[in-house]
Structure 1
């Protein structure tokens, strides 16, 4: 399964992915356009029930295209190629295991997607599989 055109297609697929990975989740901050289409939402995910601990949660902001401020290119990779930051995850400190579980499942679903965490590095499905295999 590859590129989705609309957030309205991605949201239910994310929810199925969370369920498949036994992650608890809530969907917050729905922003819709004048036609009722979701343009932005936020998920909080955890490996324990959300109400049990705020410290075991990470939040994912999910945005629809096109938003110019969500486009980015990387001089070190291909200065002509633009990427759209569909999912943005902030503040996962001490919850890297939850992030890893989500990212591995996400990249298995969207094999051509890339995860950008470091300044000059993308993580691919193979990168994450290799990391998992070393532990």
Structure 2
């Protein structure tokens, strides 16, 4: 018998069957709220930054826009937040709809590795443009 004075309900409150709690749920909701503000800013700013008469002028304007530190940070937050949100959503789909144990594990690992690879490529690309 344990010496804890907590009730059985108090011991399990906030913990799911995987003992993961509400972290996944909260992460998905927080990333969604952040993206509500970041994605429209990103799209509107990018459209404004790519104005010009020809392709070279548009590219130079976009490069100059991304070279500004605030824009680079917000672009990283928007793209990495989108990838993180996508990873969480795909994880739920895989867990709910893939019935085999081994395919589920493989797909969850692939989902995680590809998400991290996309985030690494995004960070590298933004730094390459912003520092150049």
TM-score range, shorter chain: under 0.3
Q: Which has the larger radius of gyration?
A: 2
Structure ranking higher in helix proportion = 2
> What's the TM-score once normalised by structure 2's chain length?
0.26
Higher strand share: 1
TM-score, normalised relative to structure 1: 0.25
Q: Pick 1 or 2: higher relative contact order, CA cutoff 8 A, min separation 6.
A: 2
